[in-house]
Amino acid sequence: MRSLTDPIRTFLILLIALFPWYPLLGQSNNPYIINGNASQINCNCYLLTQDENNLHGSVWNKNLITLDSSFNYYFNVFLGCNSQNGADGIAFVLQPIGTNLGANGGGLGYQGIAPSVDIQIDTWQNFEDNDPAFDHVAIEKNGNVVHYDTNELAAPVPALVTSGDIKDCQWHVFEIRWDAPSQTLTAYIDGVQRVSVSYDLVNRIFGGNPTVYWGFTASTGGEKDLQQFCTSLNARFDLDSALRRCVGDTVHYRDSSTSFGSILKWYWDFGDGTRDSVARPVPHYYPNAGIYNVKLAIEGNNGCESDTFDRQVVVGTYPTAAFDYSGPSCTLRPVQLLDRSTNRVGQITQWYWAVDTGVLVIQNPVLDFDTGGSHLVRLAVSTAEGCNSDTVQALMDIRQTPAIAMSGHDTCVFDGIRFQATDLTPSVPPASWSWEFGDGNSDSVRNPVHAYQQGGQYIPAVFASGMDGCFSDTLRDTVNIQQLHAFAGHDTLLAKGQPLPLQGSGGTWFSWSPSLWLTDPSIPDPIAQPAQDIRYLLTVSSPQGCMDTASIQVRVFQGPRFYVPTAFTPNGDGRNDVFRPIPVGIQVILYFRVYDRWGKMVFSTDQYMKGWDGTIGGRPAGIGAYVWDVSGIGFQGKTIDQSGVVTLLR
């Protein structure tokens, strides 16, 4: 076009200005100039780069357009299948220079073209160009590919609204809109706006010249991918959703095809052997209900024919409503209404339930009835095609659920609790009761008595069954069972006249008996000084009235002194295996020693109640007589020394 003489060029610009649709209506079967590695795939689709390294391709429409007029172009773009390393991307470009432009490498075939504007889909991150890590869309001018500089008109955003990878082996709709009055350039991908800029392209970029070429460029470099585009020629039709499609009705079809240029022909197939070739066919009558495979193909003004769009159209029958229900038909219990409606052709998609005075619009609602008696339930259904059923109805007999209350109380272990169950609905007398006491035991009487055998916290539960089979709620309560553990101390030996501090525990209140030789029998720790053997009984109690008992045996000997056996038998039978002195009235053991017949010490300790096990150096000592001596301090502070002989037997 740069070879046109000025008069011809002036005439062409004037023609475009007066008739902006002229370049589209006047397109030949191939109005595109193909450069570099690009090639034509079919009537309206072009290959920009193969999946090979270091390629570039460009395709330019050889008809100039004017930016004084708005346009809305639809394309289908394919960015390849290499989601990890595919590169480099494509660019939609406006420029007034010519139709043999393009370059390879990371510049998308657009780099260096000036003056120009591009909307680029970049699929490779070039760090030197400030590319983000995701596949992105941006608007640049004058051959620029560096983001965030003065030549960028719209900063990069994710190519897909999902932020996913556009190198997904899928075709995507790429829509370019230019609104001349507002000087706004906008790009959409798959119907979602991605980038937009309001900018005086004609004066600030193209020096006042509104006529430009448009086209696509692409490139690969060290990485590669298959990159293609098609001028849109997509057949499609919609149905009027406000109208019924039931047997006996007519179906209204609305053409919603999209094409880069104008559409010249329509090829309708209504699935019943009839066809049409107009943009808006008359409403079509199907005499029989059924599922019809309706098809549409279109032909553009460039002579290309689209793929066939087909869609199943259902002409439905009128459904029959029916229902039943599941679950206990009792008040305050969930009852599920079950849709049993049927339809021969078409899908039931809407349900209209009327229960008493309420309305529900789901398929299988769950209800709770507050009152017993008869309840009216009605159902009507509708299909996706708008076919409505008649209304069916039935009476549901809802029985009254008994209501109860329960009570119990805290108590002591082994004491019985009388649990109380109260009927709150005298008009619905319970037929049976069921108790679980929380300790593995149960009962079926209304007011049971139960004794817990161990202390702790328990959760008893009860429910009742009505005469007509409705069950009450299960009620639960918490009872605390107190168990005291009285302790009077361990049995002990005592020297006559020696005081014994008792150490009682296990309750709040204490009582020792007999009170003989005690300083105070009502405290936990009285001092005892018995003159003879005695057993003290301790009784403990709590504010809740719980009680427990324990005892301690006190044996009184002359002392202070050591009581030492004359023989022992360390044979491992568990009886008399250890030789030890029994201290009575002794506060501290100074030493306890054992010697063999030659005077050699074979055992020594100063620990209370520790004895000799009849071994020497870990080996059993021989049978015979051994000498011992022991020393300690009595409760009166005097030293007690004793010695003697013991016989070791086996």
Closest CA to 266 of 312, 311, 308, 314: 308
Mean pLDDT for the chain overall: 92
Q: Are 353 and 365 in contact (CB under 8 A)?
A: yes
Peptide bond into 365 cis (omega under 30): no
Fold classification of 323-398 is Immunoglobulin-like (2.60.40)
> Is the predicted pLDDT of residue 181 greater than 50, yes or no?
yes
Tokens in use for 603? Answer: 């055992």
The enclosing H or E element of 435 equals: strand 430-436
Better pLDDT: 229 or 427: 229
Closest CA to 526 of 506, 547, 499: 499
Q: Which of 26-35, 99-108, 260-269, 546-555 has the least mean pLDDT?
A: 26-35
Q: pLDDT tens digits for 241-251?
A: 889 999 999 99
Residues 436, 459: Cα–Cα separation, whole Å: 9
How high is the pLDDT of residue 101?
82
* DSSP β-bridge partners for residue 193: 188
Residues 11, 572: Cα–Cα separation, whole Å: 129
Domains 233-315 and 492-557 share a fold: yes
DSSP 518-537: BS-TTSSS-EE--SS-EEEE
Do strands 639-648 and 567-568 pair parallel, antiparallel, or not at all (unpaired)? parallel
Q: pLDDT tens digits for 610-627?
A: 999 999 999 999 999 999
CB atoms within 10 A of CB 51: 14
- The residues spanned by each domain of the chain are 6-231, 233-315, 323-398, 404-477, 492-557, 561-648
Q: pLDDT tens digits for 46-94?
A: 999 999 999 999 999 999 999 999 999 999 999 999 988 888 999 999 9
How high is the pLDDT of residue 29?
52
The enclosing H or E element of 184 equals: strand 184-189
Could you tell me which residues come within 8 angstroms of residue 44 by beta carbon, excluding any fewer than 6 positions away?
230, 231, 233, 260, 300, 302, 304
Burial of residue 178 (number of CB atoms within 10 Å: 0-12, 13-18, 19+): buried
CB atoms within 10 A of CB 625: 12
Residues 329, 334: Cα–Cα separation, whole Å: 8
Closest CA to 141 of 154, 128, 132: 154
How high is the pLDDT of residue 161?
93
Closest CA to 311 of 344, 283, 345, 269: 269
| CATH class of the structural domain 6-231 | mainly beta
Cα distances (angstroms) measured from residue 65 to each of 302, 421, 499 = 17, 92, 122
Residue 127's SS3 state is helix
Superfamily of domain 404-477: Immunoglobulins (2.60.40.10)
The single-letter DSSP state of residue 487 is B
How many CA atoms are closer than 13 Å to the CA of 399, on its beta-carbon side? 16
> Is the predicted pLDDT of residue 10 greater than 80, yes or no?
no
* DSSP β-bridge partners for residue 417: 450
Q: Which architecture, in CATH terms, is 233-315?
A: Sandwich (2.60)
Residue 119: φ, ψ to 5°: -115, 110
pTM: 0.55
Residues 379, 337: Cα–Cα separation, whole Å: 10
Residues 79, 159: Cα–Cα separation, whole Å: 11
Residues 205, 195: Cα–Cα separation, whole Å: 19
How high is the pLDDT of residue 18?
38
> Is the predicted pLDDT of residue 347 greater than 90, yes or no?
yes
> Is the predicted pLDDT of residue 312 greater than 80, yes or no?
yes
Pick the CATH number of 561-648 from 3.40.50, 2.60.40, 1.20.120, 1.20.58: 2.60.40
> Which pLDDT band holds residue 357 (cuts at 50, 70, 90)?
confident
Residues 76, 402: Cα–Cα separation, whole Å: 69
Superfamily of domain 492-557: Immunoglobulins (2.60.40.10)
Closest CA to 634 of 585, 592, 591: 585
> Which pLDDT band holds residue 105 (cuts at 50, 70, 90)?
low
